[in-house]
Amino acid sequence: MLTRKQHELLIFIDKHLRNTGFSPSFEEMKEALNLKSKSGIHRLITALEERGFLKRRAHRARALEVLRLPDNLAPRAAGAASAPAAAAPPAFAPNVIRGNFAQNLPGVARTANDAAAVHLPLYGRIAAGLPIEALRDGGESVEVPAAMLGNGEHYALEVAGDSMEGAGILDGDTVIIRRGEMADNGAIVVALVDENEVTLKRLRRRGNSIALEAANPRYETRIFGPDRVKVQGRLIGLVRRYN
């Protein structure tokens, strides 16, 4: 018998795996269950492991596998692909209103199917580990769903490194950035450090200082004075290719 929170977490993880192909972050799980700390998520995951519902894959970040679901849902064999619960209600099918999302977006080249996708300039590789200068090669572009974009100017960068893997950003991913100099505390941003280093990190304001946090415990948080860091954009999406 699972507690209500254990049941909610297991269903959330299973749904996230089926929708995205990878397990949710601890921050996403904490917010989904309306918990105040990640320690509660750790305890719930441990309890689900002990009861044989979950398995952690060794040496991999954010690697959770749902071994089985509660008895009132469809059974699931270890390692098998997730399937919708047999007794569950039909999956939500939203009504889609098609619109010209790409219209009037600065810096965006429209495709033939402009209601479905747009091309963004791909500036180059950005270090999600050690900062490097972003390459600004305007000759390359990446196609992304138009619905991913809102107002403003956008561009894409290829991630190099593993320091943001705890936030689901892996080496080789393409991140979609909304250009701007402002970002909320806790947002993942493209930050320019000392006018010559560009890095992708989580932004934290601490008094008169700015902290750039990695999402991998192997990397230290870097602290700077406010005049040393300039925000060049905020992460709004991610594109991943599977070979």
Q: Kindly list the distances between the CA atom of residue 58 and the CA atoms of 44, 164, 187, 206, 211, in Å, as whole numbers in the listed order.
A: 18, 18, 29, 35, 30
pTM: 0.51
Question: Which residues in the chain come in under a pLDDT of 70?
Answer: 1, 58-62, 72-116, 127-139, 243
Given the residues 23, 30, 82, 201, the one annotated as active site: 201
Catalytic residue among 23, 25, 82, 163: 163
Domains in the chain, ordered, with CATH?
4-66 (1.10.10.10), 110-239 (2.10.109.10)
Amino acid 166: pLDDT:
92
- Residue 30 annotated to the active site: no
Angstrom distances, CA of residue 140 to CA of 17, 156, 177: 31, 10, 15
Query: Would you say 169 and 219 are in contact if contact means Cβ atoms under 8 Å apart?
Result: no
* Burial tier of 165 (Cβ tally within 10 Å: 0-12, 13-18, 19+): buried
What is the pLDDT at residue 212?
93
Q: Catalytic site residue 201? A: yes
Cα angle 37, 38, 42 (rounded to 5 degrees) comes to 135
- Helix 4-20 with 38-50: angle, nearest 10 deg: 90
Specify the pLDDT at position 234.
Answer: 92
